[in-house]
Structure 1
Amino acid sequence: MSVSIDITGLPPERIVFETSPLAELGVALHALSEPGHHPGLHGWATATAAALKPDLADRLLEADFLWTTTFSDVLTPFAGIRGGDGRTGATLAEELDLLDRLDEDRFMAAALEFTCSAQYAAGGPVRPERALELAANRGPRQLDFTRRLLSDPVGVRAWLRRLFEDCDRAFFADTWRRVQPALAADARHKTELLRRKGLSEVLHAVSPAVSLDEEDGRRRIAVDKLSDGRTTATGSGVTFVPSSFGWPHVWVLHAPGWRPVVHYPIAAPELPGPASVELLHLRMEALAHPMRMRLCRQLARAAYTTSELAESYGITPPEVSRHLAVLKKAQLVTTRRRGRYVLHQLDVAAVARIGSDFLETVLR
């Protein structure tokens, strides 16, 4: 499963790395709303939330599904302006001006992503009755927001701008001053890496979850996620936006007619790279079998030969070999030779990673 961006024939200069203060504000708000997703930010989130005035905290609750249920495209308006150049703003005020320029249809579709996520890739106008029905399923705050948006989109847009401006005064201006230099440095570094080493190299530097697929004369940027989606950048380009708050998320804007955007984290815990969706599936499937679970119990304690394992569990060596093959394909068992014996042992570090791999994968 992945989200793919077709870049066949796209000139290299249309793949750009830029900072976005509004997108970073959105990720910061996500970290405030979902601190469990971001264990490394607990201190910042706790201190920032405690310092919010009650009125601002209440208003953030009214709209928090824009950065919790989904990461709304409202937060990257530079990608949706018809006839625009797709460039981000240098300041939050500039990007809020871009939000003001987003046409009404696109603003409403982006603001209602939380109700129509299944139809995201299809595009098209919002159906008010369906939006209200889905919003009601989400909760009273979402329903109230949807009613206001459908009846007064201009007023809701102005309300959102004031909300973001108040966040800037309350905490984000200081936060942006602190993180912007590192984000700008990362964007410059990735731009230079793209120039010197090429696209495949820079995509790997963005995230192990991002890769270049070249097949049948087509070129695609693939983002390994527990979702499917596709779009094309051949008429516009692709923007990569670094984030100091984003880990473990890699967000991809792939709405029809919008410039594709990949929003990636520049900071992550010092852990091995995240497993692919396919590898995680193999590992969980491998461990779901009761006999393989029993084999793992023994292999976790010491290294054993196939014959030893067969004798321990009363099954034939070929049966053991078949189970070991599944565990090895899932990269959960290591093998080494000692004389004429082949010894198998559980990779405890790989098994220990499954919990965090699963969490990173479903949040990615």
Structure 2
Amino acid sequence: MGITLNLQRAQPADVHVGRSPLAELMSVLHIMAEPDHHPEAQRWTHRLGTAISPSLAHEMSALSPLWARLRCRLLFPLGLPLDQPFEDELRHLERLPLEEFVGLCSQGTLGFREAVPPARSLLTDPESAERYVAQCERRSFRRGELAHDLVASPEALRGRLLCFLDSCAETFFATEWRTVRDRLESSAARVRTDIRRRGLAEVLAGLSSTAVVSRGGSRVRYDKLAVAEIEIGPRPLFLIPSVHVWPHLIVKDEESHPVVLQFASQEDRTADQLTQAELRARMSALASLGRMELCRHLLGEPITTSELAQRLGLADTQVSRTLRQLREAGLIESEREGKYVYHRLATSTLLRLGQDVLATIMR
């Protein structure tokens, strides 16, 4: 599984790197909508939540399908230039042709990679609109309610959304944007420089530890639940850094719009992500009762292979084999002191394992 970027036709002019306050706000709203999925941000989200009025919180919940899972393409830059002020991005949404607004909003409301009726059908065909609402209701009651509002009065929903986004900026996001904008510009500048020096494929691969480069650098694949191949060039690629997007790497591929890749800025990557193979190796290592028993002896004071063998009543060679499996999985640390090698449990790795499992499932 995964999303592959095909770079065979990509030219430097096809790749644009820049900030988007609207996309950053959506990352914040995503964390607010799914706080259990982002334990690393719980203190921050709690503090932010205290600044939000009950009415704004209610509207945040009602509109949350647009950013809770399959983030709506509507809230990423739809064209050049990047680095527009937040107010200009909202004005662009306000002026967007109604059919284009409905097309993008309908996919975001459904929140799943599944075909939705064309926007023209939703606007002119009551039966098509009714089927679409039922399609969203099957996903969740909240999505069904939002779908109903969209087909009943798309302009009214657009007005609600713009008012909500503006209220978010006034209540908390303007302050947050002032905090992160310079860091994001630094990250964007670094990526622009790296593309010139190292090439596009290497830079794209560096945005995720799960990336695999193939066919001589003409393809970059990311570990994602979706399966797709996206051709870059002459269709543009927008690279948008984010402070709040980790552990996700967001790839948006709506036809007739630029491809968007939103990535965690380098200094804001809380930890390197594991590949699925690395995660399986760690969990498999802990699934054995024998290896688990050995881990209990490794917790605390470092210990030699011979001492472990004596405690467990096993041959040195058998213990060495088990230690090698645990070391390859990153679960123990070994250090030589004089003529002995001492082993101890990598407790920091074990403490991270729950978050690593969640991050691997989420991306």
1:60 aligned residue: 60
State whether residues 72 and 104 of structure 2, in contact with CA within 8 Å, keep that contact through their aligned partners in structure 1: no
User: C-alpha displacement at 1:3, in angstroms?
Assistant: 2.6
User: C-alpha displacement at 1:213, in angstroms?
Assistant: 0.6
2:122 aligned residue: none
1:244 aligned residue: 243
Is 1:11 the counterpart of 2:18? The answer is: no
Structure 2 unaligned segments of length 5 or more: list them: 120-127
Q: Give the structure-1-normalised TM-score.
A: 0.79
1:198 aligned residue: 199
State whether residues 23 and 75 of structure 1, in contact with CA within 8 Å, keep that contact through their aligned partners in structure 2: yes
Summarize deviations over 1:154-205 as a string: whole Å, max 9, x none. Answer: 4323332232233233333343334323322321222122223333553466
User: C-alpha displacement at 1:124, in angstroms?
Assistant: 7.3
1:163 aligned residue: 164
State whether residues 333 and 343 of structure 2, in contact with CA within 8 Å, keep that contact through their aligned partners in structure 1: yes
2:286 aligned residue: 287
Structure-2 change in CA distance of 1:60 and 1:320 (3 Å): same
State whether residues 66 and 111 of structure 1, in contact with CA within 8 Å, keep that contact through their aligned partners in structure 2: no
State whether residues 200 and 211 of structure 1, in contact with CA within 8 Å, keep that contact through their aligned partners in structure 2: no
Cα distance between partner residues in 2 of 1:47 and 1:341: 50
Summarize deviations over 1:295-319 as a string: whole Å, max 9, x none. Answer: 22223354343x7656654666666
State whether residues 66 and 111 of structure 2, in contact with CA within 8 Å, keep that contact through their aligned partners in structure 1: no
Amino acid in the other structure paired with 1:290: L
Cα distance between partner residues in 2 of 1:102 and 1:20: 21
Amino acid in the other structure paired with 1:303: I
Cα distance between partner residues in 2 of 1:65 and 1:195: 38
User: C-alpha displacement at 1:337, in angstroms?
Assistant: 6.4
User: C-alpha displacement at 1:289, in angstroms?
Assistant: 2.1
Q: State how many pairs are aligned.
A: 353
1:231 aligned residue: 230
Cα distance between partner residues in 1 of 2:159 and 2:269: 41
Cα distance between partner residues in 2 of 1:70 and 1:8: 27
Cα distance between partner residues in 2 of 1:38 and 1:25: 16
User: C-alpha displacement at 1:26, in angstroms?
Assistant: 1.0
1:104 aligned residue: 99
User: C-alpha displacement at 1:29, in angstroms?
Assistant: 1.9
Structure-2 change in CA distance of 1:322 and 1:114 (3 Å): farther
State whether residues 226 and 361 of structure 1, in contact with CA within 8 Å, keep that contact through their aligned partners in structure 2: no
Please state whether the residue corresponding to 1:117 is helix, strand or coil. Answer: coil
Counterpart selection for 1:95 from 89, 99, 117: 89
Amino acid in the other structure paired with 1:104: E
User: C-alpha displacement at 1:153, in angstroms?
Assistant: 3.0
Amino acid in the other structure paired with 2:96: R
2:259 aligned residue: 260
Please state whether the residue corresponding to 2:240 is helix, strand or coil. Answer: strand
Amino acid in the other structure paired with 1:3: I
Cα distance between partner residues in 2 of 1:145 and 1:271: 34
Structure-2 change in CA distance of 1:23 and 1:290 (3 Å): same
User: C-alpha displacement at 1:23, in angstroms?
Assistant: 0.7
Of 101-110 and 237-246, more deviation after overlay is shown by 101-110
Cα distance between partner residues in 2 of 1:30 and 1:351: 27
1:136 aligned residue: 137
Cα distance between partner residues in 1 of 2:97 and 2:218: 30
Please state whether the residue corresponding to 1:112 is helix, strand or coil. Answer: helix
Cα distance between partner residues in 1 of 2:36 and 2:70: 16
State whether residues 203 and 210 of structure 1, in contact with CA within 8 Å, keep that contact through their aligned partners in structure 2: no
Amino acid in the other structure paired with 1:62: A
State whether residues 123 and 256 of structure 1, in contact with CA within 8 Å, keep that contact through their aligned partners in structure 2: no
Cα distance between partner residues in 2 of 1:354 and 1:131: 40
Cα distance between partner residues in 2 of 1:130 and 1:339: 74
Cα distance between partner residues in 1 of 2:217 and 2:266: 32
Cα distance between partner residues in 2 of 1:240 and 1:37: 24
CA RMSD of superposed structures (Å): 3.5
Of 28-37 and 241-250, more deviation after overlay is shown by 28-37
Q: Give the structure-2-normalised TM-score.
A: 0.80
Superposition map of 1:1-364 within 5 A = 1-38=1-38, 45-78=45-78, 86-88=80-82, 90-99=84-93, 100-101=95-96, 104=99, 107-113=102-108, 115=110, 117-119=112-114, 125=118, 128=129, 131-199=132-200, 202-203=203-204, 207-209=207-209, 211=211, 213-215=213-215, 217=216, 219-225=218-224, 227-266=226-265, 272-301=271-300, 302-305=302-305, 312-313=311-312, 320=319, 323-335=322-334, 345-364=344-363
Identity within the alignment, %? 29
Structure-2 change in CA distance of 1:337 and 1:186 (3 Å): closer
Please state whether the residue corresponding to 2:147 is helix, strand or coil. Answer: helix
User: C-alpha displacement at 1:246, in angstroms?
Assistant: 2.3
Cα distance between partner residues in 2 of 1:61 and 1:185: 33
Please state whether the residue corresponding to 1:51 is helix, strand or coil. Answer: coil
Amino acid in the other structure paired with 1:190: V
State whether residues 123 and 255 of structure 1, in contact with CA within 8 Å, keep that contact through their aligned partners in structure 2: no
